[in-house]
Structure 1
Amino acid sequence: MIQKATLKFLEDLRRNNNKPWFDAHRKAYEAAREDFAAFIDSLIAAFGKTEPAILHLKAKDCMFRINRDVRFSKNKEPYKTNFGAYINAEGKKSLKGGYYFHLEPGGSFTGGGLWQPMPAELAKIRQEIDYNLPEFDKILGSKKFRDTYGGLTVEAGQILSRVPKGYEPDNPAATYLKYKSFTALANLPDTVLTGSALLSTTVKAFQTLLPLITFINRGIDE
């Protein structure tokens, strides 16, 4: 579980997103980050029983910095108001699909997939879907997947208006071929975050996502 103090720190940071406040509350930040890291280490160990390829990872290999890159952003607030971790056997900078945990009061979620893959990887995933549509449909149509995620994430700007070049408009896989990202996310209420069921809930969500990740990465590897 996540400690309530960790959520409070993130809530306070949202209201005081500036360097002087952050410096004055650095010990609270370090305690919150350590708490999040402890949960991610527990998650790796627990999910690693299903997916042994991730067992070599540590939380520090998966977590993102809290500092924002404001160079090209209109939002000049210096800090993120969340903790995030991307669990991928090949590292958080991998071009393959993986698992994600996002901690943010009122906006936490778990899930994963592959967000905005590079053109070469995206082309391979589309080809895999085209070649193996029944398998892809079965993954997304399973009761566990639908109950946990509802379906693939529909995100503004991440779906083409037409099928990509090289595919006919009436292709049976046309709906999926238009996607530019392949992710699935499940919201986590704050009450779940601080409860004893958080770890098992997240592990089950990752286990449900495993067939999709396997499908995506197989396409990239081929």
Structure 2
Amino acid sequence: MELKDRLKQARKHAKMSQVELAKRAGVDQTTISNLERGKHRGTSHVIPLASALGCSPRWLATGAGQMLEFGRDATDELVFQDAELVEGNEPLGYDEIELPCFREVEFSAGDGSTQVIENHGASMRFSLARLSRAGVQPENAACATVTGNSMEPTIAGGSPIAIDKGCTQIIDGKVYALDHGGMFRVKRLYKLPLNRVRIVSDNGNEYPEEVVSMGHEESPRIIGRVFWWEVFD
């Protein structure tokens, strides 16, 4: 079942017309029509739509879980917890999604070479409401943990971060996650002429600026833009 099918099912269950749903969710009726016809697959409107319909935003966005969580019905008011990234075995909340994690692992050959992989059995939880506010599609979201102090004081070593894999175009000064020859790196990027890029660490005293050419086999691969990180005091 796709998003268009789930949206239509939830709307019928709530006994709402597209016009009424649009009014309650604060979106244009054309948007709802396009979503139900499969012309628009974006999920940036999931939170207000789920709130108006009284259904689970996680189910509406991904199909996971039940349309109506146990003990809730379409007349209940949704209360979204502003949850941060957490790890654990507790059941997901109705407004949470499990995101895969990027990590750097050593090759089995044991020669010290590493590779950046996604998931490998690890995941973290993230609030769908937070994704919606950031304009990030749930299917493009992933997590990682920063190592080292190259981005201090902005991002401390050991901090969890959230990555938008749908944003790989460089916006000058934004923070990106990179796969650079099997190393997982988190840096600020700046565009230069001739397809070159400045790689900048916030801790510039210990980590000098680099300039690399993109598009080569040994060039860094942009995994996505880092749109959230946890700040330690």
> Could you say whether these structures have the same fold, taking a TM-score greater than 0.5 normalized by the shorter chain as the test?
no
Q: Give the structure with the larger helix fraction.
A: 1
TM-score (norm 1): 0.31
Query: Structure with the greater relative contact order (CA < 8 A, sep ≥ 6): 1 or 2?
Result: 1
